[in-house]
Structure 1
Amino acid sequence: MKFTDGYWEVLPGMTALYAQEAYTIREVDGTLVVVAPTKRIEHRGDTLNRPTITVTLSSPADGVVRVRLEHHRGTRGRGGFDLPGADGERHGTVAVSDGTGSLTSGRLTATVRAGAPWSLEFADSTEGHLTGSGNRSIGYITDPAGRHFVHEQLELGVGEYVYGLGERFGPLVKNGQTVDIWNADGGTSSEQAYKNIPFYLTNKGYGVLVDDPGRVSFEVGSESVERVQFSAEGESLEYLVVAGPTPKDVLERYTALAGRPALVPAWSYGLWLSTSFTTDYDEATVMSFLDGFAERDLPLSAFHFDCFWMREFHWTDFTWDPGAFPDPDGLLDRLHARGLRVCVWINPYIAQESRLFKEGADAGYLVRKPDGDVWQWDMWQAGMALVDFTNPDAVAWYQGYLRQLIGQGVDSFKTDFGERIPIDVQWHDGSDPEAMHNLYAQRYNAAVHEVLVDERGPADAVLFARSATIGGQTMPVHWGGDNSSSHVSMAETLRGGLSLAMGGFGFWAHDIGGFEGLPDAGVFKRWLAFGLLSSHSRLHGSSSYRVPWQFDDEAVAITRTFSKLKLALMPYLFAAGVEAHEKGIPVMRPMALEFDDRAVAHIDTQYMLGPDLLVAPVFSADGSVEVYLPHGRWINWFTEEVVEGGTWRAEQHGFETLPLYVREGAVIPMSSRERPDGGWFDGLSLHVFPGHSEVTDVTVYDHETAEPTTYRVTRGINGAQVAVAEKALPSLVLRGSNSG
């Protein structure tokens, strides 16, 4: 939200008060408290009729500084996010002397200097100055309607780029953009997003989390070009600065604070096939799809039943449509007999024709309006209401139906929606309605994930979720929402996933071929390669099926090629998933997260899949693509050509390949199994790529227990050797030229 008209003036009807100086600085119970008047105090009379802003600095964790800005301290705010890694607010050391106050937590120091102009600096013990809040940065704004806002502005350095803020489908670098943190069902071709995360990091080596679950507006170099402004309505604003020094270090520290992704089961990495949305399907349709996959030697891991597994007008009632699926128990048994896992679509919205509507309304489990009536509207489902997940009894009631489905044989849930949450309602626990708009997705997904953990165990619990906020990263997997069936939409889909990854979301998927419309065969085949080189892969559409033979025979072959490639890469991908779980580093990584190379700062058309594989999807009908290889040597996966990096390459690809490069020195563990969860130590091979180091350690994890086994590969003039204790030695495959 913008408040100013250029540098000098505020917008018409706005009034602005700014923190002008640090008037008093004192230590209070391990925190640093600063009173900042909105006028420079030159004599005692200036303290009369003068608003102040109280700035409180504390540290909830090592290397993290919290800043709370308050105008009227007695006003109840919206509260903050659940930050499981926060351990009180008294980490670090406070010092006040000679007119300067500081709080040091780990390598991060925040310093406030007495007097005018206002100055709050954040510095790293090794890297030096990071950012700061200076003159006219802390503002208390009143708009023409009498609403009050608090804003902060943190400076941007020369060549400093901002990333993150959730799933955003525009450019990866957010400089110059306005971003509102407000979950919405707007598709992938708009500025709206399903997953809004008020956290950003920069290439300068720090991150910022605005701890407000309501609508937070970011002006990233777009109101003041040399600053990031963030603002929220109310009397207070809180933010946390997270130390680095590298972007990976920031993510590791941030996810230690906000929660790290759960470790998803190995089977979830395989290909998922869906019924699609409004297509006609019944058991015969489903079995014909599965027979078609088997007959064509196409590996499949999971089958998903979308909305119409339930009867129309009855969503959500958790009851199989008896016309389409008269024997659901038998159907689930037959799917399991084929080695498939089963996912069903669910929703937190209860239509008034659902058997759950009266039951939930009578028990007080549905969200109500201030006058006590159940809140309802006719969008999506006629007369639909919302489950009130702030009511523990409503949570248990909803979960009871999920437990029945799991008992019937369902393995996973696609938790759709959770964004269309009104603010003119009241919640069971008295939660602020604006805060609950974004937090609803977290409460909804947490209720479902808890059931999966309880019933299936944490090692086998996985969601397929669309909406999220801070904390959503702990309950993977998430998919990118409703895209269209075009090369352009494929690219915007990737941008959304890379942006989300910068917020600590470790696992991500998208609808292969696009959701809306029927892709032409070329788009579908390009998207297959991209989708099967993502952490998770799903064939899903809106009004048309996504079985590959619907397109052409080559689409079948491409599905087979890249499905089997992904299965072969399972030991490598699972290890990347363990790193996401243990450190918060995503499986699909923006180039700027992985490389300290100025040339990659804006690149959002390619990514690293794990630490060593570079993937550049083809977004053109003619197969032309440009790929940037960072400095060092890279090996073409398909041709084994060794290429010097530090340059852009223009390439031409048919449907059977795309730019897929291996970082020099990599050892890629590969499986001979054609199941993602088949156990890969039997038939394991280590693919050794040229590198300058003589010794490379590679860790392979057991797919059930995640127990690590580390192999030491030694390169030599005559090839390579491998050694490890207590495991059968894998075979070695030398790739590219290993003379280096």
Structure 2
Amino acid sequence: MNITFDLLTNERWYGGYCHYGWAQPLGEESESDINMEINTTVNQAMPFMVSTKGRYIWCEDGFQLHFKKGTLSIDYHKSEPIISAQHATLQEAYIDARAKHFPFKGDSIGMNLFTAPQYNTWIELTFYQNQKDVMKYAADITGHGLPSGVLMIDDGWSDYYGKWSFNKEKFPDAKQMIDDLHTQGFKVMAWICPFITPDTTEFRYLRDHHLLIETKDNDPYICKWWNGYSAVLDMSNPATIEWLDQQLSILMNEYGVDGFKFDAGDSIFYSNEMVTYSPTDPNTQSRLWAEYGSKYEYNEFRVTWKAAGLPLMQRLADKNHSWDEHGIQSLIPNTLVQGITGHPFVCTDMIGGGEYLNFHQNSQNLDEELFVRHAQIACLLPTMQFSAAPWRVLSPDNFELIKKSVELRNEYMPLILQLVDHARLTGEPIARLMDYVFPNQNLENITDQFMLGDQVLVAPILLKGAVDRFVKLPKGTWKDRHGLLWDGGVTVTLAPLVGEPIVLELQA
């Protein structure tokens, strides 16, 4: 079935796949096909599009969109899309859609995710997670003048997938380690996934009790993912939930783990032919993984389907260590699409990008300027996450710039926390599109700067070697970090203070 309608003059659309925020907005000149019947990306997806002219599209089961020569065509096979044209602005349409289709339940997210930078052990330890080096990483954080925050112990801390207990050789006294980290001011999260290593005690138990996804032949479904071949938990089965609850409860109650990095759960790892306790499709299993994680105050998700409204800290997918749309150029636009699709508690990936090979001591790819600019983008967004140790990979001068970005974040922390509290209640984005705050000012296409709330404009440097940039100022009077006042309604060329993005505040 198909619905087709004309785009309005200067109408721009956002939404759908956060991973392709850099290719948005879409408008009259766009020619684009978007298949949202299954989330084929490695990031958040919502069957929702919203326009700068106050219209939105919502479909419970996904759809295919076709932008072509000024028309928008919707193909659907299950539930009929809802098309609303009741409002005049992007903000009005978003707020109405959020209330009707993804009401917010965001009040239980852990505030320590926002109050200081997060730290992830992946790039420094990769496949060799161990107690000694985790403690050294933590000691180096505070020893180099960075504040303690949430510390995530990444993949490799357990014996195998599904045996969610600390490997005794790698972590001889995990409880003491976590106690010590708590004493140093850290919250501790551990990496988990919905996969189970085959031919293990846990696998046989889950298989025999039908807690795994199965094939039509009643065999465990084995999925291929980035770490090999694994069986998969059936998140539609209440008994599976009970089993996983027991594993994670031990980690929290006996070891003191504060929460979990819920990795994987990508729709593409499931099959349309799978057999589950309740009828599900790949998107539904991905959604159930996100719903499960939402009950933990400290969580992180990289990929979700229709998870807007849940109290989740949602990270952008691993970014390339590059200046293009697969790296630093994607950070702001993808984050803005996260926000306008109901994911306010966002993270712009590990600073510098998630590919650990770029940070080896002999790597020829490391770009210190890129690393610093990524930190300057992240510092005034909801969360800021380090993995590659900046004191190791950067020169002393560039590391000082990293610390300056953290200081700037601390300066604006009262505002960030105020906006987090507001988002927990309302679901409004924390990092906002320019047109969301200032409609009808020809700001529809601006995605390389953002508003932190309604009063603070942030415009980071995004080009290698640049020392200034164009900034589009909405109407009003703006004050920059140099103390200078600027009349809005124009585009100006501005240079930031050393170690900072360009920041301007709207004057009353």
Calculate the TM-score normalised by the size of structure 1.
Answer: 0.63
**Shift, 1:279, TM fit:** 5.3
Stretch moving more, 473-482 or 270-279: 270-279
Q: Is structure 2 residue 157 aligned with structure 1 residue 157?
A: no
SS of equivalent residue, structure 1 residue 309: coil
Structure 2 distance, partners of 1:521, 1:281, is: 25
Aligned position for 1:122: none
The corresponding residue for 1:286 is: 134
Q: Name 1:61's counterpart in structure 2.
A: none
Which segments of 5 or more consecutive residues in structure 1 lack a partner in the other structure? 1-149, 186-191, 453-460, 666-740
Query: Is the partner of 1:565 in helix, strand or coil?
Result: helix
In structure 1, distance between residues paired with 2:289 and 2:145: 38
Contact 1:208 1:242 in 2 (8 A): no
The total of aligned residue pairs comes to 484
By relative contact order (CA 8 Å, sep 6+), the higher-ranking structure is 2
Output one character per residue of 1:258-315: Cα deviation in whole Å (capped at 9) or x when no partner: 121513333110201111152544222222222222222211211111101123xx22
- Structure 1 position 443, deviation (Å): 0.5
SS in 2 for 1:473: coil
SS in 2 for 1:168: helix
Alignment correspondent of 1:594: 437
Match of 2:18 in 1: 167
Cα-to-partner distance string for 1:637-695 (whole Å, 9 max, x where unaligned) = x2111111122222345751221111112xxxxxxxxxxxxxxxxxxxxxxxxxxxxxx
Q: Within the alignment, does 1:532 sit opposite 2:379 as a pair?
A: yes
After superposition, give the CA deviation of every residue in 1:495-526 in whole Å (9 maximum; x if it has no partner): 21111211121111022111123341111111
- With over 3 angstroms needed to count, the CA separation of the structure-2 counterparts of 1:487 and 1:654, relative to structure 1, is farther
Shift of 1:193: 4.7
Look up the equivalent residue of 1:463 and give its one-letter code. N
* TM superposition shift of 1:580: 1.5
- With over 3 angstroms needed to count, the CA separation of the structure-2 counterparts of 1:378 and 1:256, relative to structure 1, is closer
Q: Are 2:281 and 1:442 aligned?
A: no
Q: Secondary structure at the match of 2:239?
A: helix
2:78 aligned with 1:199, yes or no?
Answer: no
1:267 aligns with 2:112: yes
Distance 1:621 1:382 in 2: 37
| Secondary structure at 1:474 match in 2 | coil
The answer to whether the 8 Å contact 1:613/1:660 transfers is yes
What secondary structure, in the 3-state scheme, does the structure 2 residue paired with 1:442 have?
Answer: helix
C-alpha contact (below 8 Å) 2:153/2:191 kept by paired residues: yes
| Equivalent in the alignment of 2:477 | 633
User: What is the aligned partner in structure 2 of residue 322 from structure 1?
Assistant: 168
Instruction: Specify which of 347, 352, 357 is matched with residue 513 of structure 1.
Output: 352
Which residue of the other structure, out of 384, 390, 408, is the alignment partner of 2:230?
384
Residues 617, 663 of structure 1: alpha-carbon distance in 2 compared, 3 angstrom cutoff: same
What does 1:69-80 correspond to in 2, within 5 Å?
A: none
CA contact (8 A) 1:166 1:199 kept: no
**In the alignment, which residue of structure 2 is the partner of 1:422?**
271
Cα distance in 1 for partners of 2:500, 2:43 equals: 32
Higher helix share: 2
Of the three residues 650, 663, 671, the one matched with 2:493 is: 650
Shift of 1:360: 0.9
State which of 469, 473, 484 in structure 1 corresponds to 2:320: 484
Match in the other structure for 1:180? 35
CA gap 1:349/1:279 in 2 versus in 1, 3 angstroms: closer
For residues 482 and 318 of structure 1, what CA distance do their matches in structure 2 show?
24
Decide which moves more: 301-310 or 573-582: 573-582
Q: Report the secondary structure of 2:409's partner residue.
A: helix
The Cα shift of 1:552 comes to: 1.5
Instruction: Tell me the amino acid that sits aligned with residue 512 of structure 1.
Output: I
Residues 43, 304 of structure 2: 8 Å contact kept: yes
Gaps of 5+ in 2: 360-365
**1:345-365 per-position Cα deviation (integer Å, ceiling 9, x unaligned):** 110111215542111111100
Cα separation, 1, equivalents of 2:37 and 2:261: 22
Is the strand fraction higher in 1 or 2?
A: 1
Distance in 2 (alpha carbons) for counterparts of 1:300 and 1:635: 32
Q: Provide the identity percentage.
A: 19
Backbone CA RMSD of aligned residues? 2.0
Query: 3-state DSSP class of the match of 2:26?
Result: coil
Q: Do residues 397 (structure 1) and 225 (structure 2) align?
A: no
Alpha-carbon separation, structure 2, partners of 1:658 and 1:469 = 32
Whether contact under 8 Å (2:404, 2:500) holds in the other structure is no
Preserved contact between residue 373 and residue 460 of structure 2 (Cα < 8 Å): yes
CA contact (8 A) 2:461 2:469 kept: yes
| Equivalent residue number for residue 218 of structure 1 | 65
**For the structure 1 residues 162 and 383, does the alpha-carbon distance in structure 2 shift closer, same or farther, using more than 3 Å as the test?**
closer
**Aligned CA distance change for structure 1 residues 652 and 570 (closer, same or farther; 3 Å):** closer
Whether the 8 Å CA contact 2:104–2:308 is kept in 1: the answer is no
Distance 1:391 1:448 in 2: 15
- Give the alignment of 1:301-700 within 5 angstroms: 301-311=149-159, 314-407=160-253, 408-419=255-266, 420-431=269-280, 436-450=281-295, 452=296, 461-488=297-324, 489-510=327-348, 511-516=350-355, 517-518=358-359, 519-540=366-387, 545-623=388-466, 624-636=468-480, 638-653=481-496, 656-665=499-508
- The code of the aligned residue for 2:379 comes to L
Give the CA deviation at 1:556: 2.5
**In structure 2, what is the Cα distance between the partners aligned to 1:663 and 1:360?**
57
Give 1:299's aligned residue: 147
Is 2:314–2:347's contact at 8 Å kept on the other side of the alignment?
yes
Superposition deviation, residue 628 in structure 1: 1.1
**Corresponding residue number in structure 1 for 2:363:** none
Query: How far has the Cα of 1:333 moved from its partner?
Result: 0.3
Over 3 Å counting, the alpha-carbon distance change for 1:658 and 1:167 in structure 2 is: same
What secondary structure does 2:381 align onto? Answer: coil
User: In the alignment, what sits opposite 2:362?
Assistant: none
Per the TM alignment, residue 607 of structure 1 is displaced from its structure 2 partner at its CA by 0.6
